[in-house]
């Protein structure tokens, strides 16, 4: 365990200021904004940068430390911005660089940090880099991954270099008529993979990072980290990937075990290179730490490597998606198992944790677990040590919308990307226009920010209450030995303890089940209710003697503070 400074010890003893031994990102409340759906400022029904700027004060209100913006860069929008045609500019749909600069100014005035999505694995096929590459312009010849392919010994015909399947299904290799070679795309055919074995590519990406750092951003969420490098044989060929044993469709991504196209050692080294670049930028320019989040659906052992190896530092927040796998049937013991998966490796080795609630590719909590469990998960992720990462709208209990598919415009992830629900007024006050780019959920008249502000135990106010607790001495002391613990005290009841071991102790109790729970002899102390969810019969300010018993109703969550 790290030693506590004298200042930190005094802070804990007095319980009047927060411990300063942790960096800002270690206990942060992060919030993902999907720009198309947060706030429209010009009436076209699509969210934009000016709209986000106008709503930044809301993030301050609910206790957000930093917000991560999904891509706002110039793009033909084949993959809604994850196909970038210009890494150095803003797409006109969202505004322009002046709008972005104004957003940064407002964010800094409010004390809200801005994190940008960084998409290094690929570009759009409409990026000038790709045009230069397929035309073999000097310096760009191998900017992307090209190959002649191989000749089928039986038919004599040319075929792709390997059997690799893209994440979206179908071959990763596509023939380019102008270049007369195959190019690699781990995602869409319109998203050709950049060749990171080329030093010029890595240099260009450092220029991208510096460009946005110079404009004032506080960090980057790195998209699709495991896919950045592929394994190439010494002779320049690519080996077939073995069958995984999952599924029967050879054109589906899970059909193969991706031993050559995911989590290559060079990708780990690249994370260290980028972290060193950001640390050097801070050393030269001052300010707080610039942070890297890594999107990687990888094993916890791989995520540990992305964080660091004892010699090199990597991404501060390799994103932890374990709690996103919980369902409406998950028990307290299931929750503990999900927490353990992370903590048994990442906490033991690095003393770091983060908890992702949702994102733009996953059904909302109300759909995954049920509307009655939205508050439970929000309480849990805020009560656990480390950073929490909330997808916009989860704090008010938004749910998916059934979006009708219309031919090529169908996007099966649209349901969780619908406009933010601000009020019960026309179009939820998302836009002053007559329509929205995706349909609003009809329940917005009930689940919206304005309404929930006025309801004492609404999801929004529960969320705000938990964020406020994260600044308390007990919640800040999580790196102190014994500063936190968690356990399933019954099959359905989760207990999380946060304490500074001197003057503050909180106990968070969450009943995941549909039955009443009576817990006896939980502690030799008296506690006060400081936060109760809508399913609770208890009132804030009431006390309970945990030497006796405490009653928890179905789906109830409470936060207790030690008073005697």
Helix (H) or strand (E) holding 183: strand 181-184
Query: Cα dist. 186→174, 194, 229, 253, 260 in Å?
Result: 11, 10, 10, 10, 12
Residues 416 and 360: their CA atoms lie apart, in Å, by 6
Catalytic residue list contains 269: no
- Give the three-state DSSP class for 403: coil
Residues 270 and 265: their CA atoms lie apart, in Å, by 9
Question: Interior CA angle at 273 toward 269 and 279, to 5°?
Answer: 140
Residues 549 and 501: their CA atoms lie apart, in Å, by 23
- Residue 231 in tokens: 């394994």
Within 8 A by CB and 6+ apart from 165, the residues are 171, 172, 250, 251, 252, 253, 255, 256
Residues 59 and 110: their CA atoms lie apart, in Å, by 9
Active-site residue (options: 223, 375, 429, 505): 223
Query: Cα dist. 37→7, 96, 224, 289, 425 in Å?
Result: 44, 18, 22, 29, 16
Cβ atoms 37, 419 nearer than 8 A: yes
Which residue in 62, 117, 71, 147 sits closest to 467, CA to CA?
62
Location of structure tokens 């028990």: 331
Q: How far does CA 529 lie from the centroid of its chain?
A: 31
Location of structure tokens 């190019």: 183
Active-site residue (options: 193, 295, 414, 505): 295
* CA dihedral over 98, 100, 104, 109, signed as positive or negative: positive
Sequence-ordered strand ranges (E) for 276-370: 291-294, 317-318, 354-356
Location of structure tokens 């030497």: 547
Within 8 A by CB and 6+ apart from 328, the residues are 368, 369, 370, 373
Catalytic residue list contains 223: yes
- Environment class of 155 (CB within 10 Å of its CB; exposed 0-12, middle 13-18, buried 19+): exposed
- Residue 356 in tokens: 């992702």
Query: Cα dist. 224→137, 164, 227, 254, 296 in Å?
Result: 28, 17, 6, 16, 6
Within 8 A by CB and 6+ apart from 419, the residues are 37, 38, 40, 47, 427, 428, 430, 431, 436, 437, 438, 440
Residues with a catalytic annotation lie at 223, 295
């Amino acid at each position: 365990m790290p030693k506590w400074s004298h200042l930190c010890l005094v802070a804990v003893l007095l319980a009047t200021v927060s411990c300063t031994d942790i960096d800002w990102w270690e206990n942060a409340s992060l919030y993902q904004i999907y720009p198309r759906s947060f706030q429209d400022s010009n009436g076209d029904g699509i969210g934009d940068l000016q709209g986000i700027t106008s709503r930044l004060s809301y993030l301050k209100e609910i206790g957000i430390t930093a917000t991560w913006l999904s891509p706002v860069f110039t793009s033909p929008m084949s993959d809604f911005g994850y196909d970038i045609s210009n890494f150095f500019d803003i797409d006109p749909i969202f505004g322009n660089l002046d709008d972005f600069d104004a957003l940064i100014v407002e964010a800094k005035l409010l004390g809200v940090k801005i994190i940008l999505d960084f998409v290094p694995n690929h570009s759009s096929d409409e990026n000038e880099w790709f045009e230069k590459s397929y035309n073999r312009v000097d310096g760009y010849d191998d900017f992307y991954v090209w190959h002649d392919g191989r000749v089928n010994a039986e038919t004599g015909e040319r075929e792709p270099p390997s059997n690799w399947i893209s994440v979206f299904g179908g071959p990763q290799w596509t023939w380019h008529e102008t270049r007369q070679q195959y190019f690699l795309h781990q995602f869409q055919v319109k998203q050709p993979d950049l060749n990171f074995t080329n030093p010029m590519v890595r240099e260009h990406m450092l220029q991208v990072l510096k460009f946005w750092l110079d404009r004032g951003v506080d960090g980057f969420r790195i998209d699709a980290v495991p896919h950045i490098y592929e394994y190439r044989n010494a002779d320049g060929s690519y080996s077939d990937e073995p069958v995984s044993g999952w599924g029967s469709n050879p054109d589906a991504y899970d059909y193969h075990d991706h031993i050559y196209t995911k989590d290559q050692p060079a990708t780990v080294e690249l994370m260290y290179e980028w972290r060193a670049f950001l640390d050097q930028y801070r050393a030269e320019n001052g300010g707080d730490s610039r942070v890297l989040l890594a999107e990687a659906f990888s094993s916890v052992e791989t995520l540990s490597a992305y964080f660091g190896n004892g010699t090199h530092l990597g991404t501060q927040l390799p994103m932890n998606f374990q709690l996103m796998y919980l369902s409406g049937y998950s028990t307290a013991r299931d929750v503990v198992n999900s927490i353990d998966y992370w903590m048994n490796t990442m906490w033991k080795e690095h003393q770091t944790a983060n908890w992702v609630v949702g994102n733009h590719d996953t059904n909302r909590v109300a759909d995954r677990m049920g509307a009655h469990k939205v508050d439970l998960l929000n309480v849990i992720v805020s009560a656990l040590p480390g950073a929490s990462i909330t997808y916009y709208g989860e704090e008010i209990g938004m749910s998916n919308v059934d979006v009708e598919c219309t031919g090529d415009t169908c996007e099966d992830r649209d349901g969780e990307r619908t406009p933010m629900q601000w009020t019960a007024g026309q179009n939820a006050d998302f836009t002053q226009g007559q329509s929205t780019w995706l349909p609003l959920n009809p329940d917005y008249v009930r689940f919206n920010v304005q309404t929930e502000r006025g309801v004492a135990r609404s999801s929004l106010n529960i969320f705000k209450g938990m964020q406020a607790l994260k600044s308390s001495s007990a919640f800040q002391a999580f790196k102190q030995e014994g500063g936190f613990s968690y356990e399933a005290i019954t099959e359905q009841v989760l207990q999380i303890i946060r304490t500074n071991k001197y003057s503050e102790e909180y106990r968070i109790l969450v009943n995941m089940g549909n039955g009443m729970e009576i817990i006896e002899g939980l502690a030799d102390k008296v506690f006060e209710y400081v936060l109760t969810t809508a399913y609770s019969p208890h009132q804030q300010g009431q006390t309970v003697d945990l030497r006796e018993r405490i009653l928890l109703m179905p789906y109830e969550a409470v936060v207790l503070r030690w008073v005697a």
